[in-house]
Amino acid sequence: GNKFELRAVGSSANSSAPMTVLNAIVADQLVKFKVDVDKLIKKGEKKDVALLTVIKKYIKESKDIRFEGNGYSQEWADEAEKRGLSNIKTTPVALDAYVSEKSTELFTKTNIFSKRELHARHEILLENYYKKLQIEARVMGEVTHSMIIPAAIAYQNTLIANAKGLKDLGLSKEALETPLSIINKISEHLGVVKTSIDTMLEARKVTNNIEETREKAISYDEQVKSYFDTIRYHTDKLEQIVDDSVWPLPKFRELLFLK
């Protein structure tokens, strides 16, 4: 990321992995700190003076990663770029840090992981990542095709029957505006959902044929996951339109409040 920040791990994550990284960094830095302090003491500096001198030096050197503003704002993203800091936005690419030259040197020097162990962990993390997306994409396709689309069409058919009935009664065009407007909205959202789901599932098939783990993880992130937000947005819109009695899944408000 572009800022050093301590946060709680996700609910499905094991805290041992980030703690291993943090402890390794602290241990390595303490060793470097002692070396720097000892050098000054050997040159005749008093211990307290040497300690403060090294700390002052470290504060100056770490200036680029310190930011007191909103770390989630565009302001910080722009500022981080000016400072030459990395801003990695996808998990597969971020996981490359495990096998970077600096990481390999750190973990091998501290006798925590060998180079082979780091590459093994990197491979496992990438595989876990793409398999989760693989499952999510498949389930999203099944739920959409077997539940969301049929429910929306069923409600749309009800509205069509209503509009036809109003027309048969000889009511004005104004009376037909409401059902026709809702029918059109449902059609618009259904069209986007169906197209996006079908395209995503095709991309999933192509990605599943990729053998190399990192390439596969990146493809799932870029070619498959990229459709998730669009599908979610238009499905949410349908949820707000379709009759409660027809919608087959709990709606958001029902997840928060019991009927």
Question: Is residue 73 domain-shared with residue 20, that is, in the same domain?
Answer: yes
- Domain span at 194: 121-256
Class of residue 140 by CB neighbours under 10 A (exposed 0-12, middle 13-18, buried 19+): buried
Identify the DSSP state of 9.
P
Closest CA to 184 of 165, 159, 215: 159
Question: Is residue 188 domain-shared with residue 247, that is, in the same domain?
Answer: yes
Q: Does any domain span residue 219?
A: yes
Question: Is residue 143 domain-shared with residue 82, that is, in the same domain?
Answer: no
Question: Is residue 80 domain-shared with residue 148, that is, in the same domain?
Answer: no
Give the CA distances from residue 125 to residues 8, 104, 109, 148, 236, in Å, rounded to whole numbers and listed in that order.
19, 16, 22, 32, 31
Q: Does any domain span residue 51?
A: yes
Distance CA 75, CA 78 (A): 5
Question: Is residue 147 domain-shared with residue 250, that is, in the same domain?
Answer: yes
Q: Does any domain span residue 161?
A: yes
The answer to whether 58 and 45 have CB atoms below 8 angstroms apart is no
Number of structural domains (the chain) is 2
Question: Is residue 148 domain-shared with residue 80, that is, in the same domain?
Answer: no
**Residue 154 DSSP SS3:** helix
Question: Is residue 156 domain-shared with residue 68, that is, in the same domain?
Answer: no
Q: Does any domain span residue 102?
A: no
For the whole model, what pTM was predicted?
0.83
**In tens digits, what is the pLDDT along the chain, a chain of 259 residues?**
445 566 777 788 888 888 999 999 999 999 999 999 999 999 999 999 999 999 999 999 988 888 877 878 888 888 888 988 888 889 999 999 999 999 999 999 999 999 999 999 999 999 999 999 999 999 999 999 999 999 999 999 999 998 889 888 888 888 888 889 999 999 999 999 999 999 999 999 999 999 999 999 999 999 999 999 999 999 999 999 999 999 999 888 888 876 5
Question: Is residue 146 domain-shared with residue 198, that is, in the same domain?
Answer: yes
Question: Is residue 126 domain-shared with residue 252, that is, in the same domain?
Answer: yes
The answer to whether 183 and 203 have CB atoms below 8 angstroms apart is no
Question: Is residue 243 domain-shared with residue 131, that is, in the same domain?
Answer: yes
Question: Is residue 135 domain-shared with residue 252, that is, in the same domain?
Answer: yes
Identify the DSSP state of 8.
P
Q: Does any domain span residue 193?
A: yes
